[in-house]
């Protein structure tokens, strides 16, 4: 391929910029031309395309967000939107695209690949909920942000002998909640993968209180929700003053961690290696220490479970 495009799509994630930089520089070092597609699939539909050279991606490796912007594009899910996107590719001479995003973005990449524009997906979402890969760009930074915020809450919770009920991101998956729960020593972790049992949460608080625990942290994944109600239930049942906090989008921002910058660079570069060989319709995966790739269809049909062994450890180390 002589000309490739790169876009970021869905929710932004710290490290996306590092991935874009890797795509641009790897492609240029192979003699390719790179086009930046602005605001995800919307940019393809509207023809919002910029030329990217080596210096276009200077000074972004350490920045959160995505300098190409990102968006959710309902029109792209229609045949009309898809055809407009294909016309833009023809007009701009884009022969293949690196799509950095989550599962939804992979579906778009699959549809474009089927229609003759080979795409390679790079996993980018703070939720780490893409089945084909152990790791997604942004997960580490988001968790470090969440941990820092919960540590701050712990100070005030400790001072007042309170219970802090904290919602972290993860609409469909509890990966962030689980690891944060362990990292902050939460008394309980509530995830969408396990039915909520408030009786056992309250029982655990009572039990730990009897052994001298004076303040409590409960981590709740966004997909479970209802933190205000959970806090009220805990206060009513135990008499412990409780406060609810939703960390929200703060978790999506900030300078990417070392892990996110390095992995994003490796994943972005691997995507270009495939397009350079004329291979599309694939996704890049991190498996153990290896960077590999897989068919998009296969990737989208996989299921990623929560690490239930880790959940057991979280529960038994927070007694
Ligand atoms: P993420 O990539 O983070 O999972 P979304 O699910 O919002 O985020 O998907 C991002 C974009 O990918 C959507 O706005 C849409 O343009 C495209 N997309 C999502 N699902 C599909 C689908 N089934 N077919 C085609 N495109 C899709
Ligand atoms: O990026 C994934 C995610 O952070 C989810 O955990 C969350 O539910 C969603 O994005 C929120 O996205 P937005 O508010 O940008 O639509």
Residue 64 is classified by DSSP as: S
- The atom of ligand 1 lying closest to the CA of 9 is 10
293 given a catalytic annotation: no
| DSSP output for 185-245 | T-SEEE-TTS---HHHHHHHHHHHHHTT---EEEEEETTT--HHHHHHHHHHHH---EEEE
Mutational pocket test of ligand 1: of 76, 102, 139, the residue with most ligand atoms within 8 Å of the beta carbon = 76
**Alpha carbon distance 98, 270 (integer Å):** 10
Q: What is the pLDDT of residue 214?
A: 96
For residue 142, the ligand 2 atom closest to its alpha carbon is 4
Task: Name the 3-class secondary structure at 122.
Answer: strand
Q: Enter the pTM of the model.
A: 0.97
- Expressed in angstroms and rounded, the spacing between residue 151 Cα and the centre of ligand 2 is 23
From 65, 71, 124, 127, give the residue whose CB has the most ligand 2 atoms within 8 Å, as the site to mutate: 127
pLDDT for residue 318: 93
User: How does pLDDT run across 113-160, given as a tens digit for each residue?
Assistant: 999 999 999 999 999 999 999 999 999 999 999 999 999 999 999 999
pLDDT tens per residue, range 74-112: 999 999 999 999 999 999 999 999 999 999 999 999 999
- Average pLDDT for 23-31: 98
Residues 140, 66, 74, CA angle at the centre, nearest 5°?
105
pLDDT at residue 48, as a whole number: 98
**What pLDDT does residue 42 have?**
98
Q: What is the pLDDT of residue 151?
A: 98
Task: Give the pLDDT of residue 175.
Answer: 98
Q: How far apart are CA 181 and CA 70, in angstroms?
A: 30
The answer to whether 298 touches 49, Cβ cutoff 8 Å, is no
Predicted pLDDT of residue 254: 98
Residue 176: other Cβ atoms inside 10 A: 25
Nearest ligand to the C-alpha of residue 250? 2
- pLDDT tens, position by position, 163-221: 999 999 999 999 999 999 999 999 999 999 999 999 999 999 999 999 999 999 999 99
Q: What is the pLDDT of residues 3-23, one digit of tens each?
A: 999 999 999 999 999 999 999
Mutate to test the pocket of ligand 1, among 8, 10, 41, 169 (most ligand atoms within 8 A of CB): 10
Decide whether any atom of ligand 2 lies within 6 Å of the 222 Cβ. yes
Confidence at residue 53, expressed as pLDDT on a 0 to 100 scale: 98
Among 122, 118, 105, 14, smallest CA distance to 62 is for 14
pLDDT at 293: 98
DSSP-assigned states of every residue in 249-307: GGGG-SPPPHHHHHHHHHHHHHHHHHHHTT--SEEEEEETTEEEEEEHHHHHT------
Q: Name the active-site residue from 127, 129, 140, 260.
A: 127
What does the DSSP 8-state code read for residue 2? -
169 lines ligand 2 (CB under 6 A): yes
């Amino acid at each position: 391929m002589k000309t490739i495009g790169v876009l970021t799509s869905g929710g932004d994630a710290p490290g996306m910029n590092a991935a874009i930089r890797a795509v641009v520089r790897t492609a240029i070092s192979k003699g390719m031309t790179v086009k930046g597609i602005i605001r995800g699939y919307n940019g393809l539909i509207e023809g919002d395309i910029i030329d990217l050279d080596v210096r276009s991606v200077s000074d972004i490796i350490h920045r959160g967000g995505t300098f190409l912007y990102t968006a959710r594009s309902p029109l792209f899910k229609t045949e009309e939107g898809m055809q407009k996107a294909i016309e833009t590719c023809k007009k701009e001479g884009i022969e293949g695209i690196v799509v950095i995003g989550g599962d939804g973005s992979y579906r778009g990449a699959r549809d474009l690949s089927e229609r003759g524009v080979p795409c390679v997906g790079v996993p980018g979402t703070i939720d780490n909920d893409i089945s084909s890969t152990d790791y997604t760009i942004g997960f580490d930074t988001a968790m470090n942000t969440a941990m820092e915020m919960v540590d701050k809450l712990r100070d005030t919770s400790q001072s007042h002998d309170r219970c802090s009920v904290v919602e972290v991101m993860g609409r469909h998956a509890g990966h962030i909640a689980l690891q944060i729960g362990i990292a902050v020593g939460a008394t309980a972790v509530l995830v969408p993968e396990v039915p909520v049992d408030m009786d056992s949460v309250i029982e655990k608080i009572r039990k730990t209180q009897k052994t001298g625990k004076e303040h409590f942290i409960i981590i709740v994944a966004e997909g479970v929700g209802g933190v205000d109600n959970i806090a009220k239930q805990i206060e009513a049942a135990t008499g412990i003053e409780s406060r609810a906090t939703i960390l929200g989008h703060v978790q999506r921002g900030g300078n990417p961690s070392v892990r996110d910058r390095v992995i994003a660079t490796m994943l972005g570069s691997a995507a270009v290696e495939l397009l350079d060989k004329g291979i599309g319709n694939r996704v890049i995966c991190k498996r153990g220490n290896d960077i590999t790739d897989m068919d998009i269809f296969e990737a989208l049909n996989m299921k990623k479970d929560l690490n239930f062994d880790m959940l057991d450890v979280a529960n038994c180390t927070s007694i």
